[in-house]
Amino acid sequence: METFKLMLKIIMTSVLVNNYVLSKFLGICPFLGVSKKLDQASGMGIAVIFVMLLATAATWPIQTYLLDPNGLGYLQTIVFILVIAALVQFVEIVLKKYIPSLHASLGVYLPLITTNCAVLGVTINNITDGYNFLESMVSSLGCGLGFLLAMVIFAGVRERMEEALPPKAFRGVPITLAAASIVSLAFYGFGGIVTSIFGE
């Protein structure tokens, strides 16, 4: 029960309070680039969840069993980038060969998030937060879900924005950034929700 509560707390925290896009401002380029249509946004979100889980499953053992015992913790960033990039490429090859239908739906997004900062951020934060393997995986799932949520919400906002007529100087990127900041501001309302529910 205690573990379950902890897992739920980690997920809630990473989806709502520490949302990677809207609170930590990581992964902004897919957030702005692929959020024009709802189906693309959700496709991207699902691909990100997939890659975050894979990346954590690969990088956590590397950090714990290879880098830390040898005193190479400072190589974290470069090694993680290398491993994640290779891993995503590998997964893409495997998907193309064995599950073409999944490749057809996720394939476009996979190379885009090969070295996405949100993916790298999740893996590094899992280490700095001192999570064990299971907790790291749950945290990655939560962060991926948070990313998906942010993408879907923002895609909805943008689809509404397409129909609005802002002043000419604000059209395009400026109004998109302004809207993103308002959505981000809304997410700050979740601050403290986790401690109120679960206690300290």
Partner 1 sequence: MSPVLLAIISVTAIGLICAVVLAVASHFMGVPVNEKEVAIRECLPGANCGACGFTGCDGYAKALAEKEGIKTNLCVPGADAVAKKIADVLGVESEDVIEQVAFVHCAGDCYNHKQKHIYEGISSCRAAQMLYGGKGMCSHGCLGLGDCASVCPQDAICIENGIAHVDTRKCVGCGLCAKACPNHIIELFPDVTRVVVTCSNREKGASVRKKCSAGCIGCGLCARNCPQGAVSVVNNLAVIDYEKCIGCGVCREKCPTHAIRFADFSGRHRF
Q: Which residues bind partner 1 (CB under 8 A)?
A: 62, 66, 70-72, 74-75, 78-79, 82-83, 85-86, 89-90, 93-94, 96-98
Shortest distance in whole angstroms from residue 84 CB to partner 1: 10
> Closer to partner 1 at the Cβ: 124 or 161?
124
**Residue at token pair 């980038």:** 81
Whole-angstrom CA distances from 67 to 64, 70, 82 are 6, 5, 14
Shortest distance in whole angstroms from residue 39 CB to partner 1: 18
Shortest distance in whole angstroms from residue 93 CB to partner 1: 5
Q: Count Cβ atoms within 10 A of the Cβ of residue 52 and give its class: 0-12 exposed, 13-18 middle, 19 or more buried.
A: buried
Decide: helix, strand or coil at residue 83. helix
Candidates 23, 79, 89, 29; CA nearest to 54 is: 89
Residues whose CB falls within 8 Å of the CB of residue 19, separated by 6 or more in sequence, listed in order: 146, 147, 149, 150, 187
> Closer to partner 1 at the Cβ: 73 or 166?
73
> Closer to partner 1 at the Cβ: 77 or 132?
77
> Closer to partner 1 at the Cβ: 58 or 179?
58
Shortest distance in whole angstroms from residue 55 CB to partner 1: 13
